[in-house]
Amino acid sequence: MLSINKSQFNLLEKLCNAMSVSGDEGEVRRIVLEEVKPYADEVKVDALGSVLVRKNSTAKKPLRVLLDAHMDEVGFMIVHDDKDGFYEFKTVGGIDPRHLVGKQVIVGKDHLAGVIGAKPIHLTTSEERQRSVGVDSMRIDLGPEGKAKVGDRATFAAKFKHIGPSIMSKAIDNRIGVAILIELLKNAPKNIELCLSFSVQEEIGLRGAKVAAHYFEPDLAIAIDATPARDLPDYNGEENISYNTKLGFGPAIYVANSSTIDDPRLVRFLEETAIDENIQYQFRQPGGGGTDAGAIQKSRAGIPVVSVSVPHRYTHSPISVSRVDDWKNTLNLINAAMKKMTRELVDR
Amino acid sequence: MKQLLKTLTDTFSPSGYEDEIRKVILKEVKPLADEVRVDALGNLIARKKPAKGTKDAKKIMIAAHMDEIGVMVTHVDGNGFVRFTNIGGVYPRNLPGGHVRFANGVSGVIGLEPTTSATDVPPLNKMFIDVGADSKKNCPVKTGDVGSFERTFIDLGDKLVAKSMDDRIGCLVAIEALRALKSTPHDVYFVFTTQEEVGTRGAETSAYGIDPDLGFSIDVTGWGDTPGQKDFDVALGKGPAIKIRDGGMLADPRVVQWMVRTAEKAKVPYQREVLLGGTTDARAMQLVRGGVPVGCISIPCRYVHTPSEMVDYNDVKNAVKLIGVMLSNPVNLQLIVTL
């Protein structure tokens, strides 16, 4: 079993604290490139900005397996300079405006400290307090010295934390997938041709993965991502029947979501691998949502896909919470699965 | 033909889980086709090669989807009740009291949480499937298991009723057209596609693989001929419907003309279909690679996406005939002048 060592924590911290809002993934890309180069047989940055990595096999005609994790995160884009340090902004990717009021953010390449201002309770009416505030009437306040440009990205300011069994960050979705992919490359087995896509622009429509899959033309693919856990109790005392996933129950294997019906053979294979290797796992509740697998499966003449995610609470909010054990078990499930893969898995 | 239709519609195969129906269709088409293969997403492709000596044969792709709508388990509660979500276009009002069968053979009935009025239809997350279990432990299904709706096939003479007539009737028409096709000047690919009901996914990738010159889908469409139905000029028994447009596709006018002229010449009754919502595999085929001229031949079908979908047998036979004549004769879209 692979463990999560100090250097992996350090790497995840660095990845999580970087700013990599969809379409401007340079900071994370630089970290990834530095990490993968010593271990890869081929590294390239494609036209959209995804990092594509290949690790050759020693087998003749090996099974070509694509592992994908997206580098981008949700955030904001500055759209207007109101002067005096106030900036109008739009959200990038799925963000609930109710999460924003009063939050700290970082803006632009220099990570300028800003705050999304909130009207103090002293000055609001009770009627105002019942309503949620729209993004159009929010501003990022950088102070009169802070200079941002229209088009600059911004994201939540929360720094990575490791507290006991938990990790917290603004960008567990999906730096945890990125960190797992890097570690898998370092332990790459020889029986398969391993292709990795550190993809751009997942949060705004699975765009980077679409072209990466076209480039690699793999025999099968696994998207590794982070998925919401809403595993808190239902406060009316009834059984919580829509939790999506639960923290501490292991990697969440997908069966179906809005973008994909995961290949039943791959779902079964991962489940069997988890049982054989004694790795805790759970099924993500079928339902909405999507991962890069949705784009990959439709590439060219079709690719069998499955998704596996690390569960985390408070997705796409200023700070999410995940468990180190789920991280470790996800890493080990995919690592064990890769070693056992043969062409029979996807033969028809 | 009716017996085969019964077998096709009785078969369990919600989107993404088409193994069973693929086996049934494979058995039928294998002796009829020159070449049969299954692609990465599970599409079954049966090829009929052009007659010897044919020059410049066109690749024609014909898509009929094998999958059906269904349900998937999201949670089994402490008392053994099964919560579920939809696979494809499942409408809550069609469900109460219905029967569900799971891949492992387990059956159940759909129950509802109490509503404030007896006529209310709750959303899917207020429904559950009762498989006769009384605890999570003795419940024979688990999260991620797939189910389909169950209903007996009924032969009413001309009218035939079954679950999953959408689109096993298209599969039947494709099989029978292939059976009838003794010789063709075209390179014909009958594709029994996967995952249509969740977004025409199988058609998209199989069309990429085949790279056709033109194509069409065979699918069900709605109906305008029962009480209260308005503004849809398609009726059961008046012939297959030649699609002009639907919610996702404008049929290539040349393909429409090809179908219309063939039908008139062969004296096959047909209807012109202008559908406002919904779409078929043809939409995905049209947008593949550099684009493909496509159309669709529809079988009018009442009560679509309920467990009791009804078609008229004469429309089915006429669709087989129309497609047979289309594929037996040369086509040159360049020579078809549209109005």
In a domain, A163, yes or no: no
Touching check for A57 and chain B: CB below 8 Å?
no
Query: From residue A141, how far is each of A113, A114, A123, A135, A146 by CA, in Å?
Result: 9, 5, 19, 14, 8
- Count, in order, helices (H) and strands (E) of chain B: 7, 17
CA distance B110 to B82: 9
Contact between B209 and A301 using a beta-carbon 8 Å cutoff: yes
Same domain (yes/no): A51, A178: yes
**CATH number where A129 lies:** 2.40.30.40
CA distance B226 to A287: 34
Query: The CATH number of B70-150 is which of 3.20.20.80, 3.40.605.10, 3.40.50.720, 2.40.30.40?
Result: 2.40.30.40
Q: How confident is the model at residue A236 (pLDDT cuts 50, 70, 90)?
A: confident
CA distance B215 to A179: 45
CA distance B276 to B247: 5
The two beta strands, A86-92 and A75-81, are antiparallel
CA distance A39 to A29: 16
Q: Average pLDDT in the B199-214 region? A: 98
Two tokens at B168? 């096993």
Secondary structure class of B115 (helix, strand, coil): coil
pTM over 0.90: yes
CA distance A198 to A177: 9
The amino acid at residue B183 is S
For residue B193, give the nearest of B306, B305, B284 by alpha carbon: B284
| Other Cβ atoms closer than 10 A to B17 | 25
pLDDT of residue B338 exceeding 70, the answer is no
CA distance B244 to A160: 56
| Other Cβ atoms closer than 10 A to A159 | 13
Same domain (yes/no): A68, A81: no
The answer to whether the CB of A348 falls within 8 A of the CB of A337 is: no
pLDDT of residue A231 exceeding 90, the answer is yes
Nearest CA in chain A to B197: A261
pLDDT of residue B339 exceeding 60, the answer is no
CA distance B220 to B174: 13
CA distance A282 to B143: 9
Q: Average pLDDT in the A289-311 region? A: 97
> Which pLDDT score, from 0 to 100, does residue B231 have?
85
Nearest CA in chain A to B194: A261
For residue B192, give the nearest of B14, B48, B47, B44 by alpha carbon: B44
Same domain (yes/no): A255, A203: yes
Task: Identify the domain containing residue A298 by its residue range.
Answer: 6-73+170-345
> Which pLDDT score, from 0 to 100, does residue A235 have?
82
In a domain, A127, yes or no: yes
Active site residue B20: no
Same domain (yes/no): A42, A88: no
Q: Which residues pair with A65 in a beta bridge?
A: A194, A220
> Which pLDDT score, from 0 to 100, does residue B76 have?
98
Same domain (yes/no): A226, A80: no
Over the stretch B85-125, which tens digit does the pLDDT of each residue have?
999 999 999 999 999 999 999 999 999 999 999 889 999 99
Looking at domain B2-68+163-335, its CATH class is alpha beta
CA distance B140 to B337: 60
Chain A interface disruption, residue of B13, B44, B74, most A CBs within 10 A? B74
Same domain (yes/no): A16, A98: no
The count of structural domains within chain A is 2
Query: From residue A157, how far is each of A114, A128, A148, A201, A317 by CA, in Å?
Result: 8, 27, 16, 20, 11
In a domain, A1, yes or no: no
The answer to whether the CB of B281 falls within 8 A of the CB of B199 is: no
Rounded to two decimals, the ipTM of the complex is 0.92
Q: Where in chain B is the domain with CATH 3.40.630.10?
A: 2-68+163-335
Same domain (yes/no): A217, A321: yes
Q: Which residues of A are catalytic?
A: 202
In a domain, A193, yes or no: yes
Same domain (yes/no): A226, A88: no
Percent of chain A with pLDDT over 70: 100
Q: Which of B196, B197, B204, B309 is catalytic?
A: B196
pLDDT of residue B335 exceeding 80, the answer is no
A132's CB contacts (< 8 A; 6+ apart) are A97, A98
Cα angle at B337 between B331 and B339, to 5 degrees? 130
Name the residue with tokens 């059984």.
A239
Same domain (yes/no): A309, A180: yes
Query: From residue B119, how far is each of A163, A268, B115, B211 by CA, in Å?
Result: 52, 41, 8, 50
- Considering only CB atoms, A302 lies closest to which of B19, B41, B77, namely B41
Secondary structure class of B311 (helix, strand, coil): strand
> Which pLDDT score, from 0 to 100, does residue B274 have?
97
Two tokens at A133? 């505030």
Same domain (yes/no): A199, A330: yes
Q: How confident is the model at residue A146 (pLDDT cuts 50, 70, 90)?
A: confident
Touching check for A239 and chain B: CB below 8 Å?
yes
Q: Which residues of B touch A294 (CB under 8 A)?
A: none
Q: Where in chain B is the domain with CATH 2.40.30.40?
A: 70-150
**CATH number where A19 lies:** 3.40.630.10
Q: Which residues pair with B311 in a beta bridge?
A: B160
Given A156, A190, A217, the domain boundary residue is: A156
Same domain (yes/no): A314, A202: yes
pLDDT of residue B254 exceeding 80, the answer is yes
Over the stretch A101-122, which tens digit does the pLDDT of each residue have?
999 999 999 999 999 998 899 9
Same domain (yes/no): A229, A292: yes
Query: From residue A81, how far is each of A50, A92, A113, A148, A262 by CA, in Å?
Result: 30, 18, 16, 8, 45
